[in-house]
Structures are given as structure tokens and as C-alpha cells.
Structure 1
């Protein structure tokens, strides 16, 4: 099942990024103003503007867990994480943050067979509305960890991350070493996807192991963000009593696995991820969890992913099972938003990209507003006229 999802990811990226093939390669991270090719303007991509009251800052934090070898490449030494931290910021401070570095965009294109044909700067310069070097807003805010899908980089969850930060959250989007082909670590190191090779050999159990390994990564990340000697310069912004986690695909499974391993994570969201690593039979100690997925794969009863029926019964706290009509596996990421701007539609996901993005951002934010901020959310009580695509599943326990 996940192999099919990986193939869909590659297909969507090839289609979306291939639409820029007529644009010459550029060295700058942003196309020059007014640049054209044969009279056609170079594409300027942008994510949706954040909906909250705060401006958004962005930092990058590199972490090494010297007490643990990398599980997929032990010869490489300590396990490494690369984290984009988005945070509420003061308006008018900092400089525009790139979507990804030009080198990361090059690696992305090369991995899809588009090296030399597409301008990496067009992808890297996507407007995110986040700013590096921005002064932090005053106050303490809940922390949400975001975990990307298998083989995908943390940048694919940028729209969700910036929106949450604008609404008053510190957000840590995590890349795990040797799990993606598109992450560049300090020193210009582009690490091979050793986890991809591992999963090809191990199959279903390999994906479960990925979720379990991320459930070891995230507690280490929390230690480094909220401990006595934090790795992030603005760590005092974080309210360590209010921590949540959300993820896409294997990242969603990892949210549940992390909650099972670490009581500090008080609430979790799985966005269209199979529970390869099952929710414990004893549940998650009463903590809230939301499943948000495609109608095609995750409607109650007769679904192609039976792990949702199994683990729904194991969730022992507040819970919701939501499905989105017309959604595809990558609906809950930035890919449809970027593809739509390039004139590309994904035939497997007819839901318009703007609706994909709005549903993801609004429902995930509502969940964390309810469970980390204590603000009642009508959106989570049942179907609403403004969101006819979203169905509330209610299977028997």
C-alpha cells in the first residue's frame, strides 16, 4: 500500500515540477523580477498566507544524539535530526525564508529525473511567509512536532507549520537522517536514503520500525528543546506542559508511536498514515487522538487500510475519525498547492488544492486549539455546512 503511495508522490512531483521545464536554471534562490522565457513569465510559487494574527519566524536546528547510533547507517555514527522551528514573531523583523535551499531543490529534481531541465531556484524560492532572523513574539506557546511522510522532506509540511505558528504555536518540523534524498545537513552533506533500502528489504515490518525509530527521535528532540540546556535560542517561548504531534503517512503513525513512548506528548494527529506500528492494546493513557484521511482508503468499514478500524477501537481518550471526499494521499501536504499553481491536476485526487490546504490547516489547528489551548471547537463536534467534503466516521468499538 505504501509503495503505491511512494509512486504517487513521485508521479505528482514529476508532473508538477516538470511544468517548469521551459524555465532555464537559475543560481539565485528567487527568480529575478519580471523574468521571462520566450515572453512567458517564470513561475512564482507561494503557499497560502497564514491565517493567524502572528507573523512567523523560522530557525534551523541541527541535533546529534551521541547516545544512539543511526539505526539505518550505524557506520555513520550518531543519529542526526535537522529541524525547522517556526514560531510566532514580531511583524516587520527578519528576512524572507526560502522554501528549501537551492541544493535541496537540485536533489529533489535529480531524484525525479529532472536534473538540468528545471530551475531549482523556482522551487526553492516558493513564498512561505516565514522569515529568518525574526524577533520572537512575547509569551509562551504550545509546541507541535510535525513528522513528514516516508522519503519526504520536512518542507512538504511547511504550509501547515507556518499556519500553526501564526495561530500561536511553536512548530518543529523534523527531518530524520537517512530517511530522505532531499535533505542537506550542515557541511553540505546529502545523506543517502538508507531507510529506503531497509524498507525495501523488510517490507511491512520495516515501516513499523521506521515509526518506532521516530518515536525514539522525538523524545530526544523534546529533551533538546525543553531541557535545562536547550539547543534552540528561543526555547523559553515553549510551554513544555502543552506538547502535541502531527504527521503525514508514516509520520502520522509515528505520532501515535511517540505518544505511546512519551507521556509529554499530550495530543496527536495521523494524516492518512497506516498504523504499521499498532496503537498499544492498552491505548494512549486517555490522551486525545485524531485520524484525518482519504475517503477512498479510510472510510469506516470495508476500507483498504484495516489498521484504522483496528486502532480506532484501541484509542481510549477523546478521538475523531475524519475522512475527506476527493482527497488523495498527498492532499495533506504542500504538493497539491504547488502543483495547482503550475497548472497540474492530480487525477487521483479531484479535491481542489485550495480546499485540500484549507481543510488540513483548519482541522489540525482546531484539534490543537481544543486540546492544547482548551478552546472549544464547533468544527470538531460534527459536520459543518462550510466543509461538505469532511465526513465524521463512527464505527462501533
Structure 2
């Protein structure tokens, strides 16, 4: 219900088949309040300044799964990483054109279309990377969303000593800028009600992840900083579903997190032993509205956690609530403030990664936290067994 209210209030509309619950009919939305001015992403909480750069990689071994006129798969990869450079040009959140196409695709009207390009980030564009033997985290956004929708999380992880590789899955977002400056739109949106659509998407994204892991050593001068024995994947919505799919296909991905995404890749009946964590809204409780988590939970034979965050909706684990006020979108009554939702997402994602990629004890993952009472450890704390 909260997800439907949030969309009605003007948050980004998702394709029904790519959501964790049915979305309301698509209709043009307008701001319900006066825009507050440019959004400012919360400052990273780690010890390191953050740098960022963009790579474009082209997989010539396979055709694009969505654009039948293209015989290769081009991907945009945004890297975030620790740097010693504290000052410099801040990386743009989106270009004016990307902002325009994203808002049009999301059917948000009534504000200047370049609004999101004015969002203030924290990462320094093309700063020199620093560190050694750094763990790598692959990030994957929700369907229709560009990678920039997870920027706050990416910056925070980089500040904590991770290299983050965020993948824009071409033609699955309202906007992806390609290497030659062309902007790809969401061709996959024309197929989102087809039978087997979710399975098709996560299989393609798993292939995207494997290709990016193959390409990083050759394509990024800072790749020597990465400890390739410590790789995890985190995603939101369809990106979270893709984390499971990628782990099933590529043993290099040691651990994964699904943030509020229904899963599609099927785990073998023999089970899956690598660490995995579900983090979701209240809809994602055992016996709730998404049977895929109940199904997969029983097949996770290794370290596992299932966390439901009260008073959240589907977008709480993204930047969408953080940038909403700049679009004149009022917070939804009864839903956690954007900054609190971001803090909880950052805290639990980092705790999981610190435990499984850095071998650091994280009591917050083992028992309820008085600091974060909204985070319920399921199934026990959710009234199920």
C-alpha cells in the first residue's frame, strides 16, 4: 500500500513486472509541493575522499538482447573508489539530457527537466585512486533506473574502502549515455509484460556482470588496486534479483544482497551456500506479498539474513526519496524520512560487506539494534518461523 501511495505522490513509476508489487497505472505526475532547490546527497560516512570515473565496455561476443539492430552489447560502467584528493570538480549526478529523459520516462512534470543534473554529489571526477587490495562491489539498479539512482550508496561504500562498479544495463533504463554520446532509451520497457520477462532480464544482467569483471583489469588503470578474490554484488529491485542470478552463474561473486527485488533465477534444489542477504520493505516479510523470497530462503544453505525495514517503500533503498524534494515531491506520510532510509540501507549493506569481504565482526547482523529499531531480523522478528 505504501508503495502505491508513494507513486501517487509523484515518485518514479515502475513497470509492473519489474516491481515487487503491482504498480498503479502509468499517468503523468506533477509535483505536489514547491521544489526545494537542487538536491544534496548525504555525505559519505567512511574515512576516505571518493573519486569516480566512467568506462564504456563493448562485448563483441554477443548481440544486444533488446536492440535487434545491434550485434554487440555496450555497457556504461561507473566506478567509485577511495582517493587522497579531497578537492576538485564534483562528478555530475546526471547530465541535463539524462535528467530530461529520466523525468519524461518517469512521467514527472512541472519542474525544469534539467533539475536532477543540478543534484550535488560528493565524488571528485576522475580523481586518482588510492589503496591496495581493495574489495570490489558490483552495483545494479532497478529496472528503468540509471545507475545514478544508487549514487549515495556507491559513494558511501567507496569512502569505506571499497571499489564500486555500477553497471548501466543498456536499454533497460529510461536513459543510458553511450560512448559516442548517443543516449539509449528503454527498449526493454516494451516487453515488460511478456511471460518470462524477469528471468530474461536477470540472465542478461548476469552476463553483463561477468563481462564487466572480465574487462576491469584491462580497461581501468586503477584495477591493480582490486583484490579479485573479494567480490560481492548488491542490487535494488531488478538489480537485487540480478545479484542472485549473477552469483549462480559466476563463482567470482562471493556474496550478494538483494534490496527489495523479487527473484527470478532458480536456485538448485541442492541449495546455495555463498552468503546472501535480503533487505526489503514491509511487503517483503515471510508469508508476505512476495513468494520468491520465501522460496529462496529455504534454499540458502550458507550464511543468510533477511531484514525487513518498517515504514519503507520500494524506493527507500535508492536516491529517489533523497532527490524527491528537488522535484517538488512531498514525503509520503508514514514512510521513513529519506535520510533515515538512506542511513539504514548504507549501514546494513556496509555491515554485510565488511563481514564477508573484510572478515570483520558485525553484531548488528546477528541481533536487533536499538539504534535501528526499524530493521527487523526475519523470520523470527517478523512473526514467522
Q: Which consecutive residues of structure 2, in runs of 5 or more, have no partner in the other structure?
A: 1-15
Cα distance in 1 for partners of 2:334, 2:92 equals 28
Q: By how many angstroms is 1:347 displaced? A: 3.1
Aligned length, in residue pairs: 366
Alpha-carbon distance between aligned partners in 2 of 1:347 and 1:8, rounded to the nearest angstrom:
16
2:335 alignment partner in structure 1:
350
Give the alignment partner of residue 160 of structure 2, picking from 163, 167, 192: 167
Match of 2:304 in 1: 319
1:178-257 mapped onto 2 (5 Å cutoff): 178-200=171-193, 202-203=194-195, 205-226=196-217, 230-257=218-245
SS in 2 for 1:75: coil
Decide which moves more: 95-104 or 360-369.
95-104
Residues 17/171 of structure 1: CA separation in 2 closer, same or farther (3 Å cut): farther
Deviation, structure 1 residue 16: 5.7
Indicate which of 272, 289, 292 corresponds to 2:276.
Answer: 289
1:258 alignment partner in structure 2: 246
- Deviations 1:238-294 (Å, cap 9, x if unpaired)? 11010000000111110011000011000000000001222332333x210000001
In 1: Cα distance, 2:225 partner to 2:17 partner: 37
Q: Hey, what's the Cα distance between the residues in 2 that align with 1:259 and 1:18?
A: 42
Distance 1:134 1:156 in 2: 21
Q: Which residue of 1 aligns with 2:3?
A: none
Secondary structure class of the residue paired with 2:356: helix
Shift in Å, 1:8 = 6.7
Q: What is residue 64 of structure 1 aligned with on the other side? A: 58
Between 384-393 and 185-194, the greater mean CA deviation after superposition: 185-194
**In 2, are the aligned partners of 1:103 and 1:184 still within 8 Å (CA)?**
no
CA RMSD between the two structures: 2.3
Gaps of 5+ in 1: 21-41
Alignment check: 8 A CA contact 1:147 1:246 kept: yes
Distance in 2 between residues matched to 1:290 and 1:9, nearest whole Å = 31
* Shift in Å, 1:388: 0.8
Bigger relative contact order (CA 8 A; separation at least 6): 2
Q: 2:286 aligns with which of 272, 280, 300?
A: 300
Residue in structure 2 matched with residue 127 of structure 1 by the alignment: 120
Contact persistence 1:151–1:179 (CA under 8 A): yes
Q: CA deviation at 1:94?
A: 3.7
Runs of 4+ in 1 over 6 A off after TM superposition: 8-11
1:59 Cα deviation from its structure 2 partner: 0.4
CA shift digits 1:111-157 (9 cap, x unpaired):
24457x53344311211100112121232210000000011110100
User: 2:322 is paired with a residue of what secondary structure?
Assistant: helix
The secondary structure found in structure 2 opposite 1:265 is: coil
Aligned equivalents of 2:333 and 2:189: distance in 1? 24
Q: TM-score, normalised by structure 2?
A: 0.89
TM-score norm. by structure 1 comes to 0.86
2-structure distance, mates of 1:252, 1:19: 33
1:366 is matched with which residue: 330, 351, 356? 351
